[in-house]
Amino acid sequence: MNLARREQLASTVHAQNEATSFGLLLARKKVLTPAWTSRPQERSVSAVAPISASDSRRGDDELWSLAAIAFLVFYSNSMIAPLIPALVRGFGVHAVDLKWLIPGFSMLYGTATLFYGLVSDRFGRYPVLRFLLGFAAVTTLPLSFATSAREFVFLRLLSGAGTGGIVTIALSIIGDRYPYAVQGRPMGRMFGAIAAGMGLGSSLGPLLNPLLGWRNELRILALGFGAASYWVSVRSQTKPVRRGTDDSLWEYALEYRCILDAPRGGRTLAFIFANGAFHGGIFAWLGVLLASRYQLGEIGIGLVLLGYGLPDLLFGLVIGSWGDRYGRRSVVPLGFFWASICAFLLALRSTPLISALIITALSVGFDATHPLMSSITTSIDPKHRGQITGLSTFANFVGMGVGALLFRRLMVPHFSTALACFGAVEFGAGVLALYAFRAEAPATR
């Protein structure tokens, strides 16, 4: 038996053993055992059937549309942080007065995903997605009318409750439609769109501020959310109505515990949290870093951040395909190492051009880790995919919020100190990932 065959069999046995233990946990708690633990031929009634060759083009159209929605959400999420210097001047306050603007939003956004993911499992993906996009439009528009820093922070937190859950449900739809063995490519496209939204939001946000003003930018985004809600409304009318799960709230609560008890569940969520803290902490204060280190204004900051997310948009599909072909056990640790090296390089003083290139490379680390780890969590229990996706998104965004607070504390003496500390922790996470994901072998060779 060759090495590739042995690795494949070991991965299969590992997954079967985990499935059995997960089912036993659920059985002991008197919760309905997921379909994949005892009845592999069944699937959740709220799920979408995998794409066949005859409707692959229609599936690609849906994938591109969901990617566009994810882009819009993360563009909105990411445009605020680089605008902090402009907001400080506009409201006549200090940066410390906006200290909860980014971490508070991230934590509330992540908390909202726990609820919305669960609701989408119960009532269906598209009806909940349509409501959330409309809610996002309603909560984003008032931001453009804020008259003080305190009011802006409060309305920003409210918008976190409005936009949280949109991308979670979009990812759940992808998880419903594509089997785990081939999720790398569509997840790569989705997270490429997410990274592109982060990159263009962080660059075009400050670049367009002198031309349009941040208030008009927010109004345009609110209009975009409204248009996306209309698209989802039209699409939901052409799709068959599917009944959601019938689990009680108590069973949903026990599902969270079972996910955390499962080795792949709790372990992967811990890495998602740590990775979110690393990337979210650095990104939250990149605008302040560039403004203080190079005395750049909005246009300068936007130009330096222009490349953030660009590699993921261009190569997200390739990175996802590598995860399918070579296994998560190889690609995920490399993503951690890559990101840590970028943090160390960014800690060194250099020119704005070199910093721009390093920041561009930094975004590759996110696309090589989070999408692949997210697909691991969603494969644990397909019956509650929305709930699990919400839990992983919660871990990611709460990590981002905690990372933003820690980075701000560490950057007080010097930005380089904060970057070096974050880089060291990310490198250590990469070493641990080599062991933690050793069983995530490719399904086929």
- Please list, in sequence order, all residues whose beta carbon lies within 8 angstroms of the beta carbon of residue 255, skipping any fewer than 6 positions away: 26, 31, 247, 381, 384, 387
pLDDT in tens, 90-143: 899 887 788 888 888 988 998 888 888 778 877 888 888 999 999 999 999 999
Do residues 205 and 308 touch, judged by C-beta distance below 8 A?
no
- Angle separating helix axes 125-140 and 166-177, nearest 10 degrees: 160
Could you please report the per-residue DSSP string of 157-179?
HHHHHHHTTHHHHHHHHHHHHS-
pLDDT at 275: 95
pLDDT surpasses 80 at 351: yes
Residue range 319-345: mean pLDDT, rounded: 89
Torsions phi, psi for 380 (to 5 deg): -70, -45
Average pLDDT value for residue range 163-186: 80
Summarize the confidence of residues 229-255 as an average pLDDT. Answer: 68
**What is the CB neighbour count within 10 angstroms for residue 115?**
15
CA-to-CA separations, 279 to 156, 201, 282, 364, 407, in angstroms, rounded: 20, 15, 5, 11, 10
User: Can you give the residue ranges of every domain in the chain?
Assistant: 64-436
Average pLDDT over residues 277-285: 91
- Joined together, the tokens standing for residue 162 give 């409005």
Determine the pLDDT at residue 71. 92
φ, ψ dihedrals at 243, nearest 5°: -75, 140
> How far, in Å, CA of 361 to CA of 343, rounded?
10
Residues in contact with 246: Cβ distance below 8 Å, sequence separation at least 6, in sequence order: none
Give residue 27's pLDDT: 43
pLDDT: is 412 or 283 the higher one?
Answer: 283
Residue 327's pLDDT is what? 82
Query: How many other CB atoms are found less than 10 A from the CB of residue 249?
Result: 9
The one-letter amino acid code at 82 reads P
In terms of Cα–Cα distance, which of 431, 371, 378 is closest to 265? 378
What is residue 141's predicted lDDT score, i.e. its pLDDT? 93
| Residue 385: Cβ-neighbour burial (10 angstroms; 0-12, 13-18, 19+) | buried
Is residue 48 predicted with pLDDT exceeding 50? no
Distance CA 384, CA 31 (A): 12
More confident residue, 190 or 213: 213
pLDDT over 60 (residue 40) = no
Q: Please give the average per-residue pLDDT across 239-256, as a whole number.
A: 61
Query: Can you tell me the distance from the alpha carbon of 220 to that of 330, in angstroms, rounded to the nearest whole number?
Result: 41
Residue type at position 440: E
pLDDT at 45: 31
- The per-residue pLDDT of the chain, averaged, comes to 80
Query: Which amino acid, residue 386?
Result: G
Q: Which range is least confidently modeled, 159-168, 282-291, 384-393?
A: 384-393
Determine how many CB atoms are found less than 10 A away from the CB of residue 296. Answer: 19
Nearest residue to 363 (alpha-carbon basis) of 424, 305, 437, 308: 308
User: C-alpha distances in angstroms, 343 versus 349, 394, 417?
Assistant: 12, 24, 11
Cβ–Cβ under 8 Å, residues 331 and 323: yes
Q: In this model, does residue 207 exceed pLDDT 80?
A: yes
| pLDDT of res. 4 | 46
What sign results for the dihedral spanned by CA atoms 432, 365, 276, 376?
Answer: negative
Tokens read off for 212: 């349009």
CATH number of the 64-436 domain: 1.20.1250.20
412 burial level (CB within 10 Å; 0-12, 13-18, 19+): exposed
Provide the token pair at 253: 């609560």
pLDDT given for residue 58 in this prediction: 56
Q: Please give the pLDDT value at position 420.
A: 95
Range of weakest confidence among 6-20, 210-224, 238-252? 6-20
Cα-based distances in Å from 443 to 15, 207, 289, 322: 11, 44, 43, 12
Structure letter (DSSP) for residue 143: G
Greatest extent of the chain over all pairs of C-alpha atoms, in Å: 71
343 vs 390, higher pLDDT: 343
Environment class of 56 (CB within 10 Å of its CB; exposed 0-12, middle 13-18, buried 19+): exposed
Contact criterion met (CB below 8 Å) for 51 and 178 = yes
Residue 25 has pLDDT above 50, yes or no: no
pLDDT of residue 323: 78
Report the C-alpha gap between 250 and 266 in whole angstroms. 20
* DSSP code, position 80: S
pLDDT at 5 over 50: no
